[in-house]
Structure formats: structure tokens, C-alpha cells
Amino acid sequence: MSEPIHIAKISIYQDERPNRRAYIGDFKDPFYYGIHGGVKDFYKAEPKKEYPSTLDHIISAAAG
């Protein structure tokens, strides 16, 4: 069996629901995840600050 090409090193912190910040690999600045738009409406939530959802990131990565 071959060796892995890459092992992702990610730390995720939930400071205030529903928003999270993720530190990915050697990137200095965090990536922020949260809710907005239809996702916010679906969960009937009003976050203090809106961020892209994890679903947004998955779709943009797959579409790229």
C-alpha cells in the first residue's frame, strides 16, 4: 500500500454558536464558518455575524 499524499492538520474552535474558526495546516489566519441566508432561515437562527457555511465551502471546492 502506498503512503498518504497529504494528511490534513486542522484545528476547529467553536467560540460562539453557530460560528467556528478553523486553522488549516500552515496557514496563519483562520477560516471562519457559520450560517447565513437560507441556512440561517432553516435553523431559525440570528447569529451576531454571518459567515459562509461549511456547505458553501464544500460546493465551491467541488465546483472549482
Looking at the domain assignment, is residue 32 inside a domain?
yes
Q: Is there a contact between 10 and 22 (Cβ–Cβ < 8 Å)? A: yes
Q: Give the 3-state DSSP-derived string for the chain, with helices as H, strands as E and coil as C.
A: CCCCCCCCCEEEEEEECCEEEEEECCCCCCEEECCCHHHHHHCCCCCCCCCCCHHHHHHHHHHC
pLDDT tens for 3-24 read: 999 999 999 999 899 999 999 9
Please say if the pLDDT value at position 30 is more than 90: yes
Q: What global pTM score does this model have?
A: 0.79
16 within domain boundaries: yes
For residue 3, being part of any structural domain is answered with no
Residue 20, in any domain of the structure: yes
Q: Is residue 27 part of a domain?
A: yes
In a domain? residue 43: yes
Domain that holds residue 27: 10-63
Number of domains in the chain: 1
Decide if 48 is inside a domain: yes
Please determine, for residue 45, whether its predicted confidence score (pLDDT) is greater than 90: yes
Is the pLDDT assigned to residue 1 strictly greater than 90?
no
